[in-house]
Each structure stands twice: as structure tokens, then as C-alpha cells.
Amino acid sequence: MARQNRSKQMPYLTDYIQWAVSWKRGWPLLITPTTIFTGLGISTAVAVFTSLATGGAHGFNSGFFAGMVSFLGYMLGAYGMSARRVRTEPAHARLRREARHIAERLEAILDKRRLHRDLSVEVASLLEESARNWHRARAALESPYWQRADLPTHLRSAREQSLLAVDQGMQELMVLFATSIPTKPNRWAWTEIVDEVVGQDFLTTKGRVDHISPFFEEGRGVAQKLFEMAEQVEAVSRRLAGEELIAGAPKPGSALEATLAELRQLTEAEDELRQDLRG
């Protein structure tokens, strides 16, 4: 097996990592640019008012000092409120944030083409299979049928709940295997490079026995539920699409069939016309 193929032998996990790290980054503790600009506006107003009220030679200095104090006070208050919000944020939001950090570690390993080296075979295989089922479920739920504008409310709700469930399943796996994922990529050893060129591990076994997760059995249970979810979502999608066809919707290829019939009629008419002209 070529070295390039060995470094890309987990396509579904690779796609999931790239999807996970694309989640929107949040400002630490919810201190946003809007909060900063609001604080600057308030402190500027306080500084101007203090300068005008104080007057004299000390007006500017007093205003500047009052503005700085008001800005620091506002930011400390905003920091405290945001910290309280983070402590009370929903569990699914914390799970997603933690999973994203782990995905970033995996992305760094992926960039070095060491995903198959720095993960144990057991963890890598389970994550790859789970990512494949995650992709199956999302692909079915993102099909044209599920995204129709006239989709019934109960089906729309089922779709949203299913998407949330499969996403949380993958996020739970990421968190479970956090201790099995290096904080940063390992360096390539010359023995590993030789094995990559050969296509087999003769000189090294690193990544094959290291970093086996203590939560592997629990993770396997989550992976099994992801598989069952993908199976159910695909089955329901096929059944609903089939019921729609039975209800009178156009059959696949009906437009092509009608056009081909018209072209055949046109060809037959031209042949008859040529025969009449010859006669």
C-alpha cells in the first residue's frame, strides 16, 4: 500500500474532523466585540461629562481617570455575568464545545498525516466506522425530501431531533476518547518513515498499541447506537419517499420518458413525410 494511501485510510473520520472544526468559534466567556465597544462608549461619555463638570486645569485628567475606572468596572461586570452564563449553559452546548477542542487536536494530527500513527487501531477503527454512520444519517436527512418547504411539522421536528442526536453521538465519542488522542502530533521517526514507504509496519508499532481508551467499551455502545440510527433514518427516508411516489408524485425519469416519446413521434412523422414525397 502506498504511503499516501496509508495516511488517508480514514476518509469518513477526516471529513468529520474538518466539519467539526468549522463550528463557529465563540469569544472566551462571551466577551464579544459588542461588549467592548459598549464599554468604550460608556467610558467616553463618563470622561466627557466629568471633564465638563470638573473644569479648570484638572478637567481632562479627571475625565480620563473617570473614563478608565468606568470602563474597567463595566468590563469586570460583563466578565462576571458571562462567566455565570457559561456555568449555566446547556449541557449540549458544553458537549459541542469540548468536542470541538478535541477535533482541533485531531486536525493538527491530520495535518501531519499521522492520524493512522497517533491513534490506536481500536480507537481509529471505531471512530472511522462511527463517522461513516454519522455521514449516512446526515446524508439521508439532508436529501431533497427532508428539505421540502411543505414538509409536515411533525416530520420537520423528527428531522431536527435526529440531526441533533447523531451530532451528539459523535461528540460524545470524541469526549470519551479524549485521553486517547495526543495533545499534539508526534514527530516522525525514521523507522516510521521506512514503514510508510514499505506500506507495512515492520520496524515500529507506535499508534497500534498506544493510547487505547479506558472508555472503549462505552464508546462501542455509542457507536452501535449511531449504526442503528443510520439504519433507521435511511429506512424511514426510503419509505416516506416511496409513499410520496405512490400518492401520485411523478416517477423518477418520467420527464425523460415523455420527451423520448415526443422525439419518437417526431421521427416517425418525418419518415412518413419523406415517404409521401418519394411517392
Q: How confident is the model over 106-140, as pLDDT tens digits? A: 999 988 888 887 888 888 899 999 999 999 999 99
pLDDT at 27: 41
Q: How confident is the model over 141-152, as pLDDT tens digits? A: 998 888 888 888
pLDDT of 264 strictly over 60: yes
pLDDT at 189: 67
Kindly state the cell numbers that stand for 54. 470638573
pLDDT of 266 strictly over 80: no
Q: How confident is the model over 168-222, as pLDDT tens digits? A: 999 999 999 988 888 887 777 666 666 666 666 666 665 444 456 678 889 999 9
Give the integer Cα–Cα distance in Å for 192 and 201: 8
pLDDT of 238 strictly over 50: yes
Residue 165: name the closest of 94, 225, 102, 239 by CA.
Answer: 225
